[in-house]
A = this chain, B = another copy of it.
């Protein structure tokens, strides 16, 4: 594998791109979007989405060199190797997690020859356990003490065990089964749990506790809070709590849980939505068939990511356009703006998946990187954002590339024509208008009404947000992130940067506990300064 890892900044393509970046395609000249059939040729189509990228500051030449760069660095080959079980989560020559990266196996269920048969078999086994469990909820095998159905699930998890599952749940609400509700607790802030516990009928509630390591402080604290509440209500936690955890973790204890589902050490938290981490809660809410559709959409995208042709490989293209904007045109952030209220938490999921994966400063050889790695990713749904931060996108001094996401049809199909157009049409019209405005800009004799344009953006357009297209969308961004990590030569699968905070938090807690902190440590001094010693104990 190591021979495949090339220093991308030493390739011919890199130097060529640096030259081309001095004079990137100018979107503000007359007919810039229409020239050379650009609008109709800068489209990459896949099963569930098409990417319209005429609004990026690229031309055929740049695209050709981006293809060369992807080839020289063997990006598609590395992706294929990852899916087939290569040990990609490691730092050469240093202590590291040293694991395979096989979140793609969770959805590799729809072929007779999965890329990594062992992991795919484990995924299949978990899916079958889930199918059985959901069936037993259905046919009355599993009921509460009063013989009633369970109508509610509290999903307890944080980070990867929360953001991905929650954003998919929000996205697929319209497909939820009648009479099944889901609530989430993630934050160690006790108010988060308190607010949820106020809302639910505990007797009819399943508690889904999700932690890969089985040691996540926030999740265990919230589990304890909820178990306490169950006991106070005269209920038996062991009959209502489910566990989703790594095999052999401290939480992997069937005596404490009604049912246990597993994930495996080759699945990273932020890539785990299509594993049981997401599937148990989504299965409760949507049913097994919708889950399979969701996985099918993701699987299709994974397969598409093995196409060597840049302009036909949606995740690779999105990755390379991002690199062009970030490393060559110098944009430090990326805005992902879905024109779909259902995707309101999707940017938060991507923020985690992208920034935790690629917010790194060390290569896979343990040397300092010599380039910018992952950007700051952020976003909110449109048209809401238009009335908020778009001012800066159009006229600010920071260059913010935008990835728009939209759909031709609404989910509910409940709409009203006003002045001859439906709300869904207005939504789409706004998306297109913003894309064009950012690219083309506008001259004006009033300098305050001038738009400089040349703000690069693309539009990812789907037909409708469904379980299958949601799966594809999730897998698209997972693969995009992975491709960028391969190119930058970093390990996109560990997260050593979260360790120091954990260690220090432990030290602070130790000091908070001491009645009379005699320690001369920094922690004791900080606690004294903020008054957290005595007041925190009240």
Q: Which of A438-493 contact B (CB under 8 A)?
A: 440-442, 446-452, 459, 461, 491
For residue A440, give the distance in angstroms from its CB to the closest CB of chain B.
8
Tell me, yes or no, whether A307 is within 8 Å of chain B by CB. Answer: no
With both beta carbons as reference points, the residue of chain B lying nearest to A465 in the complex is identified as B191
A187 to B407, CA, bound (A): 14
A351 to B376, CA, bound (A): 14
Given A94-B446, A191-B342, A496-B449, residue A432 in contact with residue B527 (CB < 8 A) = yes
Given A33-B526, A376-B400, A410-B190, residue A356 in contact with residue B389 (CB < 8 A) = yes
Other-chain contact of A426, B188, B191, B371 (Cβ < 8 Å): B188
Tell me, yes or no, whether A522 is within 8 Å of chain B by CB. Answer: yes
Q: Is the CB of A217 within 8 A of B497?
A: no
Q: Note all chain B residues with C-beta closer than 8 A to A505.
A: 426, 429-430, 432-434
Other-chain contact of A333, B333, B384, B427 (Cβ < 8 Å): B333
Q: Is the CB of B501 within 8 A of A430?
A: yes
A508 to B387, CA, bound (A): 19
Q: Which of A484-515 contact B (CB under 8 A)?
A: 491, 494-505, 507-509, 512-513
Q: Is the CB of B526 within 8 A of A391?
A: no
Tell me, yes or no, whether A208 is within 8 Å of chain B by CB. Answer: no
Contacts A52-B530, A408-B536, A432-B523 given; 16 further ones with Cβ under 8 A? A33-B526, A54-B529, A91-B447, A187-B381, A190-B427, A195-B341, A221-B426, A351-B389, A352-B389, A372-B398, A374-B397, A376-B400, A378-B378, A394-B501, A421-B509, A432-B508
Looking at A67-75, A154-162, A277-285, the stretch in contact with chain B turns out to be: A154-162
Looking at A107-115, A291-299, A309-317, A411-419, the stretch in contact with chain B turns out to be: A411-419
Tell me, yes or no, whether A393 is within 8 Å of chain B by CB. Answer: yes
Q: Note all chain B residues with C-beta closer than 8 A to A333.
A: 332-333, 376, 398
Tell me, yes or no, whether A65 is within 8 Å of chain B by CB. Answer: no
Other-chain contact of A421, B398, B420, B424, B512 (Cβ < 8 Å): B512
A397 to B377, CA, bound (A): 13
| Contact pattern, A 356-371, Cβ under 8 Å of B = 1, otherwise 0 | 1111111000111101
Q: Note all chain B residues with C-beta closer than 8 A to A434.
A: 501, 504-505
Q: Is the CB of A356 within 8 A of B504?
A: no
With both beta carbons as reference points, the residue of chain B lying nearest to A162 in the complex is identified as B384
For residue A221, give the distance in angstroms from its CB to the closest CB of chain B.
5
Given A423-B225, A538-B409, residue A348 in contact with residue B388 (CB < 8 A) = yes
A187 to B341, CA, bound (A): 7
Given A332-B332, A432-B508, A448-B91, residue A416 in contact with residue B190 (CB < 8 A) = yes
Q: Is the CB of A395 within 8 A of B173?
A: no
For residue A421, give the distance in angstroms from its CB to the closest CB of chain B.
5
Q: Is the CB of B412 within 8 A of A366?
A: no
Q: Note all chain B residues with C-beta closer than 8 A to A122.
A: none
Number of interface residues of A (CB under 8 A): 156
Which of A43, A50, A162, A529 has the most C-beta atoms of chain B within 10 angstroms of its own C-beta? A529
With both beta carbons as reference points, the residue of chain B lying nearest to A217 in the complex is identified as B426
Other-chain contact of A225, B217, B375, B378, B416 (Cβ < 8 Å): B416
Q: Is the CB of B498 within 8 A of A451?
A: no
A378 to B335, CA, bound (A): 11
With both beta carbons as reference points, the residue of chain B lying nearest to A441 in the complex is identified as B500
Q: Is the CB of A395 within 8 A of B461?
A: no
Q: Note all chain B residues with C-beta closer than 8 A to A377.
A: 389
Q: Is the CB of B512 within 8 A of A452?
A: no
Other-chain contact of A389, B359, B432, B437 (Cβ < 8 Å): B359
For residue A383, give the distance in angstroms from its CB to the closest CB of chain B.
5
Tell me, yes or no, whether A163 is within 8 Å of chain B by CB. Answer: yes
A532 to B355, CA, bound (A): 33
Tell me, yes or no, whether A186 is within 8 Å of chain B by CB. Answer: yes
Tell me, yes or no, whether A436 is within 8 Å of chain B by CB. Answer: yes
Q: Note all chain B residues with C-beta closer than 8 A to A412.
A: 190-191, 194-195
Tell me, yes or no, whether A144 is within 8 Å of chain B by CB. Answer: no
For residue A538, give the distance in angstroms from its CB to the closest CB of chain B.
7
Q: Is the CB of A190 within 8 A of B397?
A: no
Which of A174, A195, A382 has the most C-beta atoms of chain B within 10 angstroms of its own C-beta? A195
Tell me, yes or no, whether A179 is within 8 Å of chain B by CB. Answer: no
Q: Is the CB of A372 within 8 A of B397?
A: yes
Q: Note all chain B residues with C-beta closer than 8 A to A186.
A: 384
With both beta carbons as reference points, the residue of chain B lying nearest to A395 in the complex is identified as B497
Q: Note all chain B residues with C-beta closer than 8 A to A436.
A: 504, 522-523, 526
Q: Is the CB of A388 within 8 A of B529?
A: no
Which of A34, A459, A526, A535 has the most C-beta atoms of chain B within 10 angstroms of its own C-beta? A526
Tell me, yes or no, whether A95 is within 8 Å of chain B by CB. Answer: yes
Q: Is the CB of A497 within 8 A of B384?
A: no
Given A429-B512, A433-B508, residue A525 in contact with residue B396 (CB < 8 A) = no
With both beta carbons as reference points, the residue of chain B lying nearest to A451 in the complex is identified as B500
Tell me, yes or no, whether A145 is within 8 Å of chain B by CB. Answer: no
